[in-house]
């Protein structure tokens, strides 16, 4: 018999916000933003190859404030997802699992993400 009552992951509201859970949820959330941003990259490549008007439109859009905010979210998501991904890979090799290290690497990642993004956008 087909079981249509599959167990699900606990929904997000169930977690008490703390650095471990917030970072984990952010990892997924930034992943979704990055997936959506591939649409833009694809559109941008298409415009370079085939449609000059679209390219001019995209250039103007990404120089506008809204475009810059979107780009900021993309670079922010990218740096965060990249660094936290490295942390996940280190975990996969079995290192850094005790709670002290989890907190420490978590704070390091937040610090690095902010530093890199401030560097990208203000220098």
Q: Cα separations (Å) of 45 from 2, 29, 54, 56?
A: 44, 25, 10, 13
Residue nearer to another protein on the CB measure, 32 or 118: 32
Q: Considering only residues 54, 55, 75, 112, which one is a binding residue for another protein as defined by CB under 8 A?
A: 55
Which residue lies nearer to another protein by CB, 3 or 65?
A: 3
Task: Select from 19, 25, 45, 108 the one that contacts another protein (CB under 8 A).
Answer: 45
Residue 39 touching another protein (CB under 8 A): yes
Selection from 113, 91, 116 nearest residue 101 by Cα: 91
Q: Which one, of 118, 109, 115, lies nearest residue 19 by Cα? A: 109
* CB-nearer residue toward another protein: 27 or 106: 27
| Alpha-carbon gap, residue 43 to 40, rounded angstroms | 5
- Kindly tell me which of 75 and 103 has the beta carbon lying closer to another protein: 75
Q: Is 77:33 a contact under the CB 8 Å cutoff? A: yes
Residue whose C-alpha is closest to residue 110's, from 98, 118, 100, 122: 118
- By CB under 8 A, which span of 8-16, 63-71, 96-104, 107-115 interacts with another protein? 8-16
Task: Draw the binding track, 19-38, toward another protein (x: CB under 8 A; -: no contact).
Answer: ---------x--xx-xx--x
């Amino acid at each position: 018999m087909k079981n249509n009552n599959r167990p699900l992951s606990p929904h997000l509201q169930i977690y008490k916000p703390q650095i471990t859970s917030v970072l984990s949820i952010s990892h997924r959330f930034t992943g979704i933003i990055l997936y959506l941003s591939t649409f833009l990259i694809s559109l941008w490549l298409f415009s370079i190859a085939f449609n000059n008007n679209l390219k001019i439109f995209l250039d103007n859009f990404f120089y506008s404030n809204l475009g810059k905010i979107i780009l900021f979210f993309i670079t922010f998501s990218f740096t965060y997802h990249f660094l936290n991904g490295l942390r996940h890979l280190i975990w996969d090799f079995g290192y850094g699992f005790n709670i002290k290290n989890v907190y420490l690497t978590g704070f390091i990642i937040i610090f690095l993400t902010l530093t890199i993004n401030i560097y990208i956008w203000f220098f």
